[in-house]
Amino acid sequence: MDLSHYHVHPVTGFVPPVPLPHHLPASYAVWDALVPEMSALIRARRLRAALRALPMLDIGELVLEGDRERALLLLTHFANGYVWSGDSADLQLPATVAVPLCALAAEMGRQPIAHYATTTLTNWRLVDPTQPVSVDNARTQIQFLGGVDEDWFFIASMGVELAGAPLLPVVADALQASRDGSDAELTRALEQFTHGMAGVQAALEHVRTWCDPATYYLRVRPFVAGWPQPGVVYEGVSDEPRRFIGGSAAQSALLQLFDAMLGVHHADAPAGAYLRAVRGYMPPPHRTFVEDAERDTRVRERVVGGTPALQQGYNEALATIATFREAHMRLAHDYIVAPSGATRDMAGTGGTALDSFLRGAHRSTSNAHV
């Protein structure tokens, strides 16, 4: 399996191996100029006016992949900033943002809203360009209100992806072994997977280091929420409101790929239908990797009729996913439910009912035990 076909890098995994350019071509300088001013404009209630005043720019000069990704990064953040920067949501996105955003998103097979790929996978730059990509050598390229908590939340999320990168070749090996390898070869791949998952969970817990739960809940989370009813009108594109899901870790291909490899099935309710829906927010090559793994895996059927060692290796791999999901549930409680106080906010940024979704995903994982 050629992982480069899925835009997977051997070191950084689903994260691009190099940061996006710091600037777009000169004809898009007005977009770049807004980036360092975003938090001040939001604070002063002037972002919406600034975005409405932008000239209408054509995306035709965005040819290089890095430029297109940076433009999508900026435009999706402009869209969310516009909708959520006032005392109430403004559901009329001006054409100056809506037209280039929708055109570019459609060409790239992405959604015209801030989503996991634009808040996490590509929203970083190196502090020291001479050093490798790591959470301690990266910061976000664009922020809403700014500050270390917002910066760290998304960089720490990128850290989960970096921690999972070494497991992607292991997944490919397991898929291959499930089709034409021996039980011993498949067992070794599953043991490697189990060993590597410890680092992925440690990276998940690392979000607590520099991101305060109350700050996240009050100052970061509101800006990555999805569109409320009836949706947002993208002026110059359509008069009909369009609804999109907010940015969510569920839009990461990582855990969905692990589920696919292991043959974990999530029923439509409460988790499966949502997990399949958010694949539309993944970069297309990442989505294809998940779908190919789901189609090609023979891991679970091999395990059912396999050796005791293979079954043990499979169950231990499953247990690491269940443990990861338990940690995710604790984070959701600490960063959403607890800070919401008496209102008991139980909705994720993707619009799901947190408790039922996360517990449902965990239950599906545990139930796959052989």
Q: Per residue in 286-310, pLDDT tens?
A: 999 999 999 999 999 999 999 999 9
Is residue 231 left, alpha or beta, with left meaning phi > 0 and alpha meaning psi from -120 to 50?
left
**How many CA atoms does the CB half-sphere of 210 hold within 13 Å?**
15
Position 14 scores a pLDDT of 98
Task: Please report, in angstroms and rounded to a whole number, the separation of the first and last CA atoms in the chain.
Answer: 27
* Residue 348 confidence class, pLDDT cut points 50, 70, 90: low
Position 359 scores a pLDDT of 78
Exposure b/e, 105-115, CB count within 10 A at least 16 = b: beebebbbbbb
CATH number for the domain running over 3-367: 1.20.58.480
| 166: exposed, middle or buried (Cβ count in 10 Å: 0-12, 13-18, 19+) | middle
- pTM for the model stands at 0.95
3 state DSSP class of 362: helix
- Distance, CA of 149 to chain centre: 18
Instruction: State how far the Cα of 141 lies from the Cα of 104, in Å rounded to an integer.
Output: 19
Instruction: State how far the Cα of 34 lies from the Cα of 61, in Å rounded to an integer.
Output: 19
**What tokens does 92 get?**
């009329």
**pLDDT > 70 fraction of the chain, expressed in percent and rounded:** 97
**Structural element, H or E, at residue 139:** strand 138-139
Asked if pLDDT for residue 21 goes beyond 90, the answer is: yes
Q: Spell out the domain ranges in the chain.
A: 3-367
* Residue 361 confidence class, pLDDT cut points 50, 70, 90: confident
pLDDT in tens, 326-343: 999 999 999 998 998 877
Instruction: State how far the Cα of 230 lies from the Cα of 123, in Å rounded to an integer.
Output: 29
* Residue 354 confidence class, pLDDT cut points 50, 70, 90: low
Position 345 scores a pLDDT of 67
Position 349 scores a pLDDT of 61
